[in-house]
Structure 1
């Protein structure tokens, strides 16, 4: 009886090796990222990172492109969503200077930490009240309270959460962050907000760094300056939150062993890429790096995170999202309102 030959061939036996399997997806991400940067250069109010997610979602749901992103391109896109995301998080540290953070003053630092803590706990509680799974609730709370998709990727790595489970939280945090770009500036005149107050509010409540810049710049350079520093202070909290999550994972009862009595390997308290993020923060804070190096690091960070966000967006199926994500969307909107109110209260005190 003849032995059938499977379609998949092993590397070294005539089939594509690991690099060849990743190449179609990585090239697709590179092409999409080029388009995102081009649109951003033409319409600066649209952040390139947000455009990368949107292009990924479009690619996943257009008939011809959907077959490609779910087929040959999928291994490379998954690689980008996981591993390039971690590289981008490391380089994100080059944007954070401890001197800038301390320059806000101790009251501002306490308020920002309080906003992040209450936002995290409140968003997790709201998500659970809307009956979202614990894993989804944790990722949504992390992304909304700290720094969007980057924080979601970090938390997923620390808690060893499956890549597929990050797709919905990334879509929600991108949607609400994009919503902030258009909505928050509408409240400047009705609430009679000064530029520093609006900037602090944006930095304390908008999710992604690019979205913060796009929102704050509508009120001028004074708003943009404080918005970026407040936001990067929230980004700095990624390291301690990741460390706490890693410690909790190791102390959890299920971490000691598996259902069959064998011992599972424990995740590190702080993953290497989070330590890399901290190291980059320290390097930036020394002042040793010339502006050219910082600019190059920023460009590389945008490339890595943009490719990762396109990869994550390309896994979002609108039809599935509409069927399973209605409760998640409501939870995200309620959480977004909660964080906006907390951020406004803190901004009024920070910029008073």
Structure 2
């Protein structure tokens, strides 16, 4: 614990600063600010090797707890609010995003690990999805850090542009604007920030669409685990054992915890203060973890692959937005 302390404290301090800066620049959001400050600090005055233990702890463990606590903030009944066509829109949109990210990543020459992380992060819920998928597909820390950074940066660009696109195309239809924002943006914070630039009604619908995507997290983790297992078997021509949490279990404990909490909340409707507290703690854990990821990111290595990564992020973002607009027109409009 002592060797973890310095890196953990550095991550917490950056998270607190990020929350304060987000009050002044709410459109960016604390999560994006945290990873940006972490990248700058980690590649300048906070490069001490002794910080690595604490930042690794914050990056891995706190994101895991953040994912688990998300389960207490949602119920299966919430899905009913967007209707059958809304559910169809989300499922098709997620499928197109995953297939598109895997295809484009292969065309650009990225390995299986980066492709799966990119697909899951964009299709589901950004950093939380990447944290859930990484151990199941045995992704290394560098791949995980690079893709989380890319997903957050591209999410910030979309967060600042989608509200105006939605207003221009859909006018006063809050459901359609909510579908565009909630069905496309990566993190919950980005969804709320973008929808807030429109109006409060859009925030409500965008959040529901976003929650539907988060509900699919467990399914995506399971599918990606199977894809990775097949990939290993094809490459090594031998039985591959997927180890999700280091002790032979296939599904990571925090994804199972997410599913259990969601089921409990759906059956007995947990008190408001429980879900509010879980949401607050989950958000703080995610921001601290993102600060740690920024501190651990090798900026030189990231920039070395910069052109291809930027093209990858731009390509996947374009696929998401275009497919969302087409699906909204076909399934929801009118």
By the TM > 0.5 criterion, same fold? yes
The Cα shift of 1:89 comes to 0.5
Match for residue 272 of structure 1?
A: 253
Partners in 2 of 1:188 and 1:104 — Cα distance?
18
| Structure 2 partner of 1:30 | 12
Listed as ranges, the matches of 1:87-126 within 5 Å are: 87-126=65-104
For residues 206 and 29 of structure 2, the distance between their equivalents in structure 1, rounded to whole angstroms, comes to 15
- Post-superposition offset of 1:264: 6.6
Of 312, 317, 320, which aligns to 1:336? 317
Shift of 1:321: 1.9
Distance 2:191 2:77 in 1: 20
Q: Which residue of 1 aligns with 2:292?
A: 311
Residues in 2 aligned to 1:89 and 1:228: alpha-carbon distance in whole angstroms? 17
> Displacement, 1:192?
4.1
**Which position in structure 2 is the counterpart of 1:156?**
134
Aligned to 2:214: 235
Alpha carbons 1:96, 1:233 under 8 Å: kept: no
Alignment partner of 1:52 out of 34, 45, 60: 34
Q: Distance in 2 between matches of 1:112 and 1:188?
A: 17
Question: Equivalent of 1:40, from 8, 11, 22?
Answer: 22
2:246 maps to what in 1?
none
Partner of 1:74: 52
Partner of 2:120: 142
Structure having the larger proportion of residues in helix: 2
Change over 3 Å in CA distance of 1:266–1:138 after alignment to 2? closer
User: 1:265, CA displacement in angstroms?
Assistant: 4.8
C-alpha distance in 2 between matches for 1:191 and 1:344: 9
Which of 198, 202, 206 matches 2:177?
A: 198
Match of 1:160, SS?
A: coil
Q: Give the total of aligned pairs.
A: 327
What's the counterpart of residue 188 of structure 2?
A: 209
Q: What displacement does 1:86 show? A: 0.7
Name the residue aligned to 1:16.
none
Separation in 2, partners of 1:271, 1:25? 25
Instruction: Give the deviation of 1:103 after TM superposition.
Output: 2.2
Q: What is the alpha-carbon distance in structure 2 between the residues aligned to residue 316 and residue 295 of structure 1?
A: 31
Tell me the distance in 1 between the aligned counterparts of 2:119 and 2:314: 12
The TM-score with structure 1 as length reference comes to 0.87
CA distance in 1, matches of 2:230, 2:167: 49
SS where residue 206 of structure 1 aligns? coil
Equivalent residue in structure 1 for 2:276, among 264, 274, 295: 295
Q: Are 2:170 and 2:176, in contact at CA under 8 Å, matched by a contact in 1?
A: no
Q: Distance in 2 between matches of 1:313 and 1:124?
A: 25
CA pair 290-189 structure 1, distance change in 2 beyond 3 A: closer
Aligned-partner SS, 1:73: helix
Task: Give deviations 1:251-296, integer Å, cap 9, x for gaps.
Answer: 555499x79x9x8754233221111010121122235321111111
Match of 1:86 in 2: 64
Superposed CA RMSD:
2.1
5+ unaligned residues in a row in structure 2: which ranges?
244-248
From the CA coordinates, give the structure whose radius of gyration is larger. Answer: 1
Asked whether the 8 Å contact 1:201–1:346 carries over to 2, the reply is no
Which structure 1 segments of 5+ residues have no match?
1-18
- Between the aligned partners of 1:351 and 1:52, the Cα distance in structure 2 is 37
Q: Deviations over 1:101-120 (max 9, x none)?
A: 12221221122111101110
Structure 1 equivalent of residue 197 of structure 2: 218
